């Protein structure tokens, strides 16, 4: 199947997904469950990763700035900017594509090979809507919260690592994270997060929904979900950066 055919089938799947739900109350219940499964259960890895990335950014920035002409607060500034602009929205999205994307593809893929999706279709349930829509809404709703937590913990990680190792003073770091702050950058990061959440949920669901075969194919779909989600995220990241920042 060529790439154009895949894009066409992906768009048709989206059309099915967004058609009118049979019972809104059941969809809402599923959306809340998905928020827990896809969002809250990712909080641990996001927190851990963000804290240590912030710490590493701070240490690396400091060790690479030797010039006496550059002021120390630049370290805090660089940590904040790289966290808000790129690390939290994009790297966390890539991590979530690995964790959440593979989970979505494997879950829907195994439902496909076990004929559970056929069972839904025969009952008259819109299987695409029932299975995919709650995941999209849940991801688009919960991921911005994850990213905000990530931003906070990354900057905190930088502070603790910087001041704890003595490479930067508390005053310089705090001055740096406040200097030249542009609130729009947070908006930009959250817009990216919502778009990436949509990509992760839909690309992964697409891979799972069209799985054919058995457990081996479910594994392949799961891997493809991660790879394709990452590729699309990186391309869209470039496009959004150009659109929103320049």
Are 89 and 197 in contact, with CB atoms under 8 Å apart? no
Residue choice 26, 32, 234, 245 for contact with other proteins (CB under 8 A):
26
User: How far apart, in Å, do the first and last CA atoms of the chain sit?
Assistant: 37
Q: How far is the CB of 205 from other proteins (least distance, A)?
A: 16
Window contacting other proteins (CB under 8 A); options: 7-15, 122-130, 162-170, 237-245:
122-130
Decide: is 114 part of the binding site for other proteins (CB under 8 A).
yes
Q: How far is the CB of 226 from other proteins (least distance, A)?
A: 22
Residue choice 45, 56, 91, 125 for contact with other proteins (CB under 8 A):
125
Residue choice 124, 164, 180, 183 for contact with other proteins (CB under 8 A):
124
- Nearest CA-CA partner of 105 in 7, 235, 217: 217
- Residue 183 to residues 112, 134, 171, 189, Cα–Cα distance (Å): 44, 31, 22, 10
Decide: is 13 part of the binding site for other proteins (CB under 8 A).
no
Residue choice 31, 71, 116, 241 for contact with other proteins (CB under 8 A):
116
Q: How far is the CB of 13 from other proteins (least distance, A)?
A: 16
Decide: is 22 part of the binding site for other proteins (CB under 8 A).
yes
- Nearest CA-CA partner of 49 in 90, 1, 5, 3: 90
Decide: is 12 part of the binding site for other proteins (CB under 8 A).
no
- Residue 132 to residues 45, 90, 98, 203, 209, Cα–Cα distance (Å): 24, 23, 18, 10, 9
Distance CA 42, CA 64 (A): 32
Decide: is 41 part of the binding site for other proteins (CB under 8 A).
no
Q: Which residues bind other proteins (CB under 8 A)?
A: 22-23, 26, 111, 114-116, 118-119, 121-125
């Amino acid at each position: 199947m060529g790439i154009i055919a895949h894009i066409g089938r992906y768009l048709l799947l989206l059309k099915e997904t967004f058609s009118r739900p049979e019972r809104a109350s059941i969809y809402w219940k599923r959306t809340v469950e998905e928020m827990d499964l896809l969002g809250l259960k990712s909080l641990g890895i996001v927190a851990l990763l963000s804290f240590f990335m912030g710490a590493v950014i701070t240490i690396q920035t400091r060790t690479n700035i030797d010039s006496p002409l550059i002021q120390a607060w630049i370290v805090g500034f660089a940590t904040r900017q790289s966290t808000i602009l790129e690390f939290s929205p994009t790297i966390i999205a890539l991590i979530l594509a690995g964790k959440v994307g593979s989970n979505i593809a494997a879950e829907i893929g195994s439902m496909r090979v076990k004929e559970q999706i056929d069972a839904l279709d025969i009952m008259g349930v819109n299987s695409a809507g029932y299975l995919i829509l709650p995941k999209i809404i849940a991801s688009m709703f919960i991921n911005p919260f994850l990213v905000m937590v990530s931003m906070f913990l990354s900057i905190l990680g930088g502070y603790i690592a910087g001041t704890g190792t003595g490479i930067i003073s508390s005053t310089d770091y705090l001055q740096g994270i406040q200097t030249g702050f542009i609130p729009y950058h947070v908006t930009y990061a959250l817009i990216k997060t919502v778009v990436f959440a949509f990509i992760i949920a839909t690309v992964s669901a697409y891979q799972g929904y069209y799985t054919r075969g058995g457990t081996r194919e479910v594994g392949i779909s799961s891997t493809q979900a991660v790879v394709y989600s990452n590729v699309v995220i990186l391309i869209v990241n470039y496009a959004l950066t150009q659109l929103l920042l320049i």
